[in-house]
Copies of this chain bind each other. A is one copy, B any other.
Amino acid sequence: MQVRAKAERIKARMENIAVVLVEPLYPENIGAAARACANFGVRELILVRPKNLDQEKMKAMATKAGLPVLEGMKVYEKLEEALAPFGYVVGTTARLGRQRKVFETIREAAPSIIELSLQNQIALLFGNEKWGLTNEDLYFCHRVVTIPTTEAASLNVSQAVVIILYEIFSQAAEVKLPKPRLATIQELEPMYRLLKETLEAIDYVPHDNVVLWMTTIRRFLSRLDLTAQEVRIIQGFCRNLLWHLGKRDQPHKDREQK
Q: How many chain copies?
A: 2
A149 touches B162 (CB 8 A): no
Cβ contacts under 8 Å, A159 to chain B: 32, 35-36, 39, 158-159, 162
A150 touches B38 (CB 8 A): yes
Chain B min CB distance to A146 (Å) = 7
Tell me the count of chain A residues lying within 8 A, CB to CB, of chain B. Answer: 47
Cβ contacts under 8 Å, A219 to chain B: none
Asked if A173 is at the interface of the complex by the 8 Å CB criterion, the answer is: yes
The residue on B at minimum CB distance from A101 is: B180
Chain B min CB distance to A67 (Å) = 11
For chain A residues 52-92, which have a beta carbon within 8 Å of chain B? 63-65
A105 touches B175 (CB 8 A): yes
**Interface residues in chain A, defined as those with a beta carbon under 8 Å from any beta carbon in chain B:** 7, 10-11, 14, 32, 35-36, 38-41, 63-65, 96, 101-105, 107-108, 146-156, 158-159, 162-163, 166, 169-170, 173, 175-180
